Amino acid sequence: EVQLIQSGAEVRKPGATVKISCKVSGYTFTDYYIHWVQQAPGKGLEWMGLVDPEDGVPIYAEKFQGRVSLTADTSTDTAYMELSSLRSEDTAVYYCATLQLRNWGQGTLVAVSS
């Protein structure tokens, strides 16, 4: 069974950086990209980007380019999303997903507040 387990909720101040993790199991980690999706409170889903665990190469949505870093650790089958220069608008649930966005993690709430 494919599973994606994300790290717990985070609270950060504006300007800070947050890094959340997504540990996968049930398939070969390097076979599929890991995607990250943002959902602000009461809003829709927004694709942030993906990372290819095979070679670590990321692709970012234009909106997040320059502030997000997506990485993958093949030794632990874990993907990471780091978002910097946080602002209140980044308060959201962040999801990881794989198998062409078919299997999703449970989501991680990031709250940005002074």
Q: Which of residues 7, 10, 91, 107 is near another protein by CB under 8 A?
A: 107
Burial of 85 (0-12, 13-18, 19+ CB in 10 A): exposed
Closer Cβ to another protein, 17 or 30, answer by number:
30
Instruction: Tell me the C-alpha distance between 108 and 20, whole Å.
Output: 8
Q: What angle do CA 108, 31, 103 make, to 5 degrees?
A: 35
Burial of 81 (0-12, 13-18, 19+ CB in 10 A): buried
Q: Which of residues 47, 69, 77, 84 is near another protein by CB under 8 A?
A: 47
Q: How does strand 10-12 pair with strand 108-112?
A: parallel
Q: In the complex, what is the shortest distance from the CB of residue 56 to another protein, in angstroms, rounded to a whole number?
A: 14
Q: Which of residues 73-102 bind another protein (CB under 8 A)?
A: 95, 100-102
Stretch that binds another protein, among 16-24, 45-53, 65-73, 80-88 (CB under 8 A): 45-53
Residue 46 binds another protein (CB under 8 A): yes
**Site residues (CB under 8 A) for another protein?**
33, 35, 37, 44-47, 50, 59, 61-62, 95, 100-107
